[in-house]
């Protein structure tokens, strides 16, 4: 096969043709058999080219920094020069980077690297390129799409019905601007046949937040990842309407969705499913299930979904999340400012465009979705991206995102955590034994115990804190072994919670929270006994206490009060 290569450039470094090793090598041969079928999945004739490519992700990772330029080879000897705007790690082990193309500030890209695989997309005007790992090899597949040929449409659910243009405008909510928090936590769910779900979730969050920034939405408004969890179904043959109604009704496999959202402090749940050509009741027998759907700003049903390739291939994920925040299509006159702008010549629309004024009807090709929300203060190709008082999603999001963020409390803030995994995790701890009747030393009797091969605490890693006692001297007060944590900054009037896991059999012990003033004098404390068990790690009952007036710091103290005893402790966490 022939190869077309591209590498990376930085203004002070040599270009590819001066000897720079290429980062992306595209094979020129047409895909055949199963690869050809996979390449057309969900898009059919919208796929204009699909090729395999070798991508040097080690070299690419080393270059990722704001301002870096990466030459990215594409099918049909095309090339994009990516200008990196931001690099983040939204999930452990996943590097996500986003930016624009060097020759077009409105063209954007979002990629994530996970386990040596690249997942993401590039969008420029009517074109899009999707990049994903190739099944069965260490190569990647790059698909080139004509976005104007992507099928359009979504179920209306409880969205307002079309109304005449002279319908009265809906009242506008007060604007929050930068004084109210708008962190909306999204729990990403994914069907069992969806690949690279964590990388896709990171891409969606990054692309959504990037679109907010580009549209001048105040920076206190953003979405974040509450979790990424599988759903035990492929939803074979089911259309989008049926799936999201199952979510709203808490029907299988969503019977525990409320618990999952509560446990992750999620305001919204977003489901990724695969495109499915057998779902004939969706977009017909040619395409089947493609695109997305959402409930319109409904606290009782804070749900949206998208098929995975469309999530960013057509910015469907952004559009559906926009519905969750109260955004409407262009034809809903009663929506007031929560509407998009569509170009007069039907060539483009902002994120909430619903392909209503420019429906897909074959050639000549019609409009594509920009990664911009309507904003009267911005323009595209000289055309205003909004209409004051009528189409202004930027202002709407600044009020609706804090509203959605308040649907569930923010998760507790962790002020101290220790799973005793590293050698330095006992640094600063004070360890002693009261009333020992025999030999005892802190180094030998309170130590990091290797528990990886000894039924470790779930999520507790390879080590725990082991405490041992000797016999006790008769009549001595407060006998036992003790371990006191370093000081942790604390604030008066704040409620603190201690969680930990113990394995103690029936031996007695206690965890204590001690509050101190600025002179390091103890001014308050609270304690609870750890739960007994059958020498199996269990989460102890949470200890809750409010810091008294004058508090500036706190400490956590463990105490084992059974003679000749042993206990293992793990996963200590202090939150507020």
Residue 467 and residue 569: Cα distance in Å, rounded? 8
Indicate the pLDDT class of residue 187, thresholds 50, 70 and 90: very high
Q: What is the 3-state secondary structure (H, E, C) of 5-71?
A: EECEECCCCCCHHHCCCCCEEEECCCCCHHHHHHHHCCCHHHEEEEEEEEECHHHHHHHCCCCCEEE
Q: Give yes or no for residue 20 having a pLDDT over 50.
A: no
pLDDT digit string (tens) for 263-283?
A: 999 999 999 999 998 887 776
d(CA 104, CA 203) in angstroms, rounded, equals 20
* Residues 272-331: tens digit of each pLDDT: 999 998 887 776 666 789 899 999 999 999 999 999 999 999 899 999 999 999 999 998
d(CA 6, CA 13): 15
With cut-offs at 50, 70 and 90, classify the pLDDT of residue 347: confident
Is there a contact between 496 and 574 (Cβ–Cβ < 8 Å)? yes
Lowest mean pLDDT, pick from 144-158, 240-254, 340-354, 521-535: 144-158
H or E element, residue 444: helix 442-445
In this prediction, residue 201 carries a pLDDT of 98
pLDDT at site 76: 84
pLDDT for the residue 44: 83
Q: State the Cα–Cα distance between residues 377 and 389, nearest whole angstrom.
A: 12
- pLDDT level of residue 388 (50, 70, 90 thresholds): very high
Bridge partners, 120 (sequence order): 111, 131
CA gap 423, 539 in Å, rounded? 24
CA dist list (Å): 312 to 38, 52, 101, 153, 502: 18, 20, 16, 16, 45
Q: What angle do CA 179, 350, 107 make, to 5 degrees?
A: 100
Q: Which residue has the tokens 């769910």?
A: 189
% of the chain beyond a pLDDT of 90 = 76
Give the start-to-end residue ranges of the domains of the chain: 24-146, 182-406, 414-575
The CA distance from 412 to 390, in Å, is 39
Cis preceding linkage at 364, omega within 30:
yes
**What is the predicted pLDDT for the residue at 180?**
62
Average of per-residue pLDDT values in the chain: 89
Check residue 294 and give left, alpha or beta (phi > 0: left; psi -120 to 50: alpha): beta
Average pLDDT over residues 541-557: 97
Mean pLDDT score, 238-260: 97
Least confident of 41-45, 166-170, 479-483: 166-170
C-alpha–C-alpha distance, residues 371 and 316, integer Å: 10
Query: For residue 362, what are the contacts with CB-CB under 8 A and spacing of at least 6?
Result: none
| DSSP at 200 | H
Instruction: With CA atoms as reference, report the closest residue to 121 among 148, 149, 142, 152.
Output: 142
CA distance 69 to 75: 19
Q: Which two tokens stand for residue 144?
A: 């080139």
Of 22, 39, 21, 42, nearest to 30 by C-alpha is 39
pLDDT band at 4 (very low <50, low <70, confident <90, very high): low
The tokens for 317 are 């994920």
Cis ω before 298 (30° cut-off from 0): no
Residue whose tokens read 């796929």: 47
The pLDDT score that the predictor gives to residue 361 is 45
Residue 512: the pLDDT is: 98
| % of the chain with per-residue pLDDT over 70 | 89
* Digit-coded pLDDT (tens) for 458-475: 989 999 999 999 999 999
Q: What is the pLDDT of residue 464?
A: 96
- The two domains 182-406 and 414-575 share their CATH topology (first three levels equal): no
State phi, psi for 148 to the nearest 5 degrees. Answer: -70, -15
CATH tag for 182-406 (out of 3.90.1510.10, 3.90.245.10, 3.40.390.10, 3.40.50.2300): 3.40.390.10
Tell me the per-residue pLDDT of 205-242, one tens digit each, with 9 for 90 and over.
999 999 999 999 999 999 999 999 999 999 999 999 99
Question: pLDDT (tens digit, 9 = 90+) per residue, 76-87?
Answer: 888 999 999 999
Give this prediction's pTM. 0.78
What CATH number matches the domain at 414-575, 2.60.120.260, 2.40.50.140, 3.40.50.720, 3.90.550.10? 2.60.120.260
Query: What is the band of 16 on the pLDDT scale with cuts at 50, 70, 90?
Result: very low
* Residues found in the chain: 576
Distance CA 262, CA 25 (A): 45
Class of residue 371 by CB neighbours under 10 A (exposed 0-12, middle 13-18, buried 19+): buried
In whole angstroms, give the CA distance from residue 224 to residue 398. 16
Q: Over 80: is that where the pLDDT of 405 sits?
A: yes
């Amino acid at each position: 096969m022939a190869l077309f290569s591209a590498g990376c450039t930085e203004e002070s470094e040599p270009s590819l043709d001066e000897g720079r090793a290429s980062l992306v090598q595209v094979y020129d041969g047409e895909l055949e058999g199963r690869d050809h079928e996979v390449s057309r999945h969900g898009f059919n004739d919208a796929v204009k080219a699909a090729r395999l490519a070798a991508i040097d992700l080690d070299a690419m990772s080393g270059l990722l920094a704001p301002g870096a330029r990466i030459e990215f080879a594409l099918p049909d000897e095309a090339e994009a020069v990516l200008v990196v705007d931001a690099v983040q790690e939204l999930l452990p082990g996943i590097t996500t980077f986003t930016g624009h193309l060097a020759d077009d500030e409105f063209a954007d890209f979002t990629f994530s690297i996970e386990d040596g695989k690249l997942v993401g997309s590039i969008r420029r005007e009517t074109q899009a390129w999707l990049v994903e790992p190739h099944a069965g090899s260490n190569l990647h597949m790059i698909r080139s799409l004509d976005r104007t040929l992507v099928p359009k449409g979504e179920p209306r659910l409880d969205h307002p019905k079309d109304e005449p243009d002279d319908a009265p405008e809906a009242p506008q909510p007060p604007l929050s601007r930068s004084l109210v928090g708008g962190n909306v936590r999204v729990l990403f769910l994914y069907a069992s046949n969806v690949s690279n779900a964590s990388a896709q979730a990171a891409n969606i969050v990054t692309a959504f937040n990037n679109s907010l920034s580009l549209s001048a939405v105040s920076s206190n408004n953003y979405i974040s990842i509450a979790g990424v969890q599988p759903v035990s179904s492929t939803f074979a043959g089911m259309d989008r309407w049926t799936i999201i109604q199952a979510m709203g009704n808490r029907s299988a496999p969503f019977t525990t969705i409320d618990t999952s959202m509560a446990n992750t402090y999620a305001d919204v749940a977003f489901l990724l499913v695969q495109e499915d050509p057998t779902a004939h009741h969706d977009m017909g027998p040619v395409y089947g299930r493609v695109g997305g759907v959402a409930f319109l700003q409904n606290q009782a049903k804070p749900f949206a979904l998208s098929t995975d390739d469309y999530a960013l291939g057509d910015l469907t994920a952004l559009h559906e999340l926009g519905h969750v925040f109260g955004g409407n299509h262009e034809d809903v006159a009663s929506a007031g400012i929560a509407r998009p702008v569509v170009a007069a010549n039907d060539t483009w629309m902002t994120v909430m465009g619903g392909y209503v004024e420019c429906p897909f009807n074959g050639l000549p090709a019609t409009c594509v979705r920009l990664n911009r929300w309507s904003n009267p203060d911005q323009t595209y190709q000289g055309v205003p991206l909004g209409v004051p008082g009528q189409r202004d999603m930027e202002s709407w999001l600044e009020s609706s995102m804090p509203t959605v963020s308040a649907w569930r409390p923010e998760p507790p803030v962790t002020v101290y955590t220790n799973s005793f995994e590293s050698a330095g995790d006992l640094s600063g701890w004070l360890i002693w034994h009261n009333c020992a009747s025999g030999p005892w030393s802190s180094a030998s009797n309170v130590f990091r115990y290797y528990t990886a091969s000894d039924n470790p605490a779930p999520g507790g890693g390879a080590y725990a804190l082991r405490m041992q006692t000797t016999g006790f001297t008769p009549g001595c007060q407060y006998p036992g072994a003790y371990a006191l944590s370093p000081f942790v900054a604390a604030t008066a009037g704040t409620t603190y919670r201690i969680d930990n896991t113990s394995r103690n059999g029936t031996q007695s012990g206690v965890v204590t929270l001690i509050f101190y003033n600025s002179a390091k004098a103890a001014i308050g404390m609270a304690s609870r006994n750890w739960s007994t068990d059958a020498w199996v790690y269990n989460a102890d009952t949470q200890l809750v206490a409010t810091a008294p007036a004058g508090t500036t710091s706190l400490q956590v103290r463990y105490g084992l009060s059974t003679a000749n005893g042993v206990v293992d402790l793990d996963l200590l966490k202090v939150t507020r």
